[in-house]
Structure 1
């Protein structure tokens, strides 16, 4: 069993809960869930242009944890863009991640 997740400081939230390809109904799309901490890491590093060290301090996580969050979030966003999947987001952890391969 892994270590319990330390609470993270999350200040931003997505403008929408879902981004999907145009012209395809949700029922036909695989879905990828972006966790709130992954969204926040992307927001701080890529949108706000913060250094990873500063973003990590703002989220109250280690720099390595922030780097892992950014890497995971970028992979999920890229998967959606390349493979035409829906990117799902919410204000809380989603209990089941659907990657379209299950």
Structure 2
């Protein structure tokens, strides 16, 4: 089986969406739109990985991602994937119900 993943960037400096989803309501709306469009997984990232992107501290990544994950696990019916390399971010998102790291 093939699965499709919808990408939700919560970064103000994203190269793919220009920071369109730093607002929680816009991010939730976009995630729901992607589910309606047929994605199987929502992947959420809060730190840009574009070339030259600035490093952000764990606290900032948590501030960006936790409110979104908390809502997504309740409001969408697909697994939530977290795009992070920081253990504390992964751990906190799993505690909220994220499915994939």
Q: Please report the TM-score for the alignment, with normalisation by the length of structure 1.
A: 0.28
Say which structure, 1 or 2, has more relative contact order (CA 8 Å, 6+ apart). Answer: 1
TM-score normalised by structure 2 residue count = 0.29
| Greater strand proportion | 2
